[in-house]
Amino acid sequence: MKKWNLVFDVALCTGCRNCEMAVKDEYVGNSFPGYSAQMPLHGHRWVQIRQRERGRFPAVDVAYLFQSCQHCDDPACLRAATNGAVTKRSDGIVQIHPERARGQKAIVDACPFGAVYWNEELALPQHWNFDAHLLDAGWAEPRPVQACPTGALRALKVEDDEMKGIVRKEKLERFGPGAKVGTRVHYRNLALYTHAFVAGTLLTLRGGLEECVAGACVKLLRGNEALGQAASDAFGDFRFDGLPPNERDLRIEVTAAGYRQQRLEVEPGESRWLGEIRLEPS
């Protein structure tokens, strides 16, 4: 049977938060019997975009991460619920039933992603239910996907085997505890948010003037193991991404025609710019 999945591409998100606003527009002040009670105006972010800044001037970037209910295949919230307050639909969507869930704060506490919120006024656990009421009414995709201007969010209703093929082809990952519990929210280019980069700029002196060194071969090594190779661009810049934070025993090796080879140890830490690296003529 075909089931719903969500794919978020970190590389395509600009942090506009249209997805957040679409969910608020749908649920604040609006109840959908059998699906959801209204969302409070303040305090709840059933869908949210988290921001992470990496590096320091002049090598800085900002990455964004979509977070919501992950619609787990084996939901902890379902196990914590009583009276059938939480169900797992045949199409993969996890549903908290407002008519049955009242007073069950254990549903909030059970979520390993912090994606279930407690509505104090209604004494009700609430989450983003993939806009199930809209999908059941014939919509092709939920509102956060519809509102995304860059295509960073995609909703796919496919067989599990087909989804496994998409995961392999696009190198999709799950976030946080998602790999253990099995989730229906998948991430592309996740390392742009979770991992670190090493960057630098190659310069030389020519006729008393500083010039960028383009086309140099830059290798990133850990001990004797080559982790990557890059060529400096027209501005002398190079960059290696997707490194585990605080990776140790790294070094940079720079080779360029007409220049002495340069080696540089990389201090462990978060994303970092190694500064201006001056190459001497050979």
User: pLDDT tens, 44-61?
Assistant: 999 999 999 999 899 999
Contact, 213 vs 201, CB < 8 A? no
177-199 mean pLDDT? 91
Residue listed under structure tokens 């505890």: 177
Strands of 27-110, DSSP E? 48-56, 59-67, 86-88, 94-96
96-107 mean pLDDT? 98
**The pLDDT of residue 179 is above 90:** no
Predicted confidence (pLDDT) per residue in 232-246, tens digit: 999 999 999 999 888
Q: What are the angstrom distances between the C-alpha of 96 and each of 89, 90, 147, 156, 253?
A: 11, 14, 24, 21, 55
Provide the pLDDT for residue 120.
97
**The pLDDT of residue 180 is above 80:** no
* Structural domain spans, the chain: 3-193, 196-278
d(CA 96, CA 81): 9
d(CA 272, CA 154): 32
256-273 mean pLDDT? 92
- Spelled out in words, what is the top-level CATH class assigned to the domain 3-193? alpha beta
Contact, 156 vs 2, CB < 8 A? no
Greatest CA separation for the chain = 81
Predicted confidence (pLDDT) per residue in 52-99, tens digit: 999 989 999 999 999 999 999 999 999 999 999 999 999 999 999 999
Share of the chain above pLDDT 70, in %: 100
Residue listed under structure tokens 């996740």: 190
200-228 mean pLDDT? 94
Average pLDDT, the chain: 96
Q: Beta strand pairing status for 124-126 and 225-231?
A: unpaired
Beta bridge partners of 201: 237, 276
Query: Superfamily assignment of 196-278 in CATH?
Result: Immunoglobulins (2.60.40.10)
Provide the pLDDT for residue 181.
78
Q: What are the angstrom distances between the C-alpha of 97 and each of 107, 232, 241, 276?
A: 11, 56, 43, 58
Q: Give the global pTM.
A: 0.90
